[in-house]
Amino acid sequence: MPEDAVKHDQKVRSLLDDPNISAFGKYQMLTTGEASFWEFLKYDTLQWLCSWMPGAAGYFLRQKLYPTLFAELGRGATIGRACSFRGVKRIKIGRNVMIEDNVVLEARGPDSELVIGDNVLIARNSVVRARGGRIVLGDETDIGTNCIVSTDSELTIGREVLIAAFAYVCAGGNHRFDDPERSIMKQGFDKQGGVRIGDGAWIGSHVMVMDGATIGEGAIIGSHAVVRDEIPAMQIAVGTPARVIKSRPSV
């Protein structure tokens, strides 16, 4: 097993396993991504004051106070109730973004970054998680309810992409299991290069997009498909594994 696979996995777990860091210190680092007690106090206070508040008052307070939490929070961005954030100083949110209730945004680990473009919609109960990797959501992309978008490497979603409810987009690689004397958890990942979804694509409900997949511009992936390889631009693909069944009309 390559040594770098183990080291990558340990980057995320090292904080939890470090006996020299208190439980409070670990929680502090996971929430803000920084060792600063004052940044943590600000985060905790604003979450306590604002996250639960319903209605227009809640939207107003979060819109006015949350910009101090994130690396960037663009003008006109709105955040719903009961949203959770981890690594807030590594999260950049563009202008006029709509984040609905119960969404989870994470940029966990020192090499993580989450960049959300302008006019993006993330619907309720969805999770967008960068763990030791980078996620970029292009302008005007729409992520439906109960979706999971996750990476341990690179995950790029282009502009004006539609992702329907219950989709699972994972650029985390597969767990290695070749060493029978070590648990699978300790063997790291076999990475395939991340995921890229091109501009204007449509990902149907319950679709799974796995590490190493590339979906071209304007492509359509039918419901319940599993994408593991390349789907060219302007093609319609269905099935497990996903296969192209026809092309969209050209201009």
Q: Check if 206 is active-site.
A: no
* C-alpha distance from residue 156 to each of 79, 131, 152, 199, 203 (Å): 22, 14, 12, 10, 14
Q: Exactly one of 8, 175, 206, 224 is catalytic; which is it?
A: 175
Rounded Cα gap, residues 147 and 2, in angstroms = 32
pLDDT digits over 218-228, tens only? 999 999 999 99
- Which DSSP string do the residues of 122-187 spell out, in sequence order? E-TT-EEEEESSEEEE-TT-EE-TT-EEEESSEEEE-TT-EE-TT-EEEES-EE----TTS-GGGG
pLDDT digits over 115-165, tens only? 999 999 999 999 999 988 899 999 999 999 999 999 988 999 999 999 999
6 phi, psi to nearest 5 deg: -65, -45
CATH for 3-175+188-247 is 2.160.10.10
* 98, 78 contact by CB (below 8 A): yes
pLDDT digits over 163-175, tens only? 999 999 998 766 7
Which range (3-7, 135-139, 247-251) has the least confidence?
3-7
Tokens 């149907």, located at residue? 204
The total number of residues written for the chain in this structure: 251
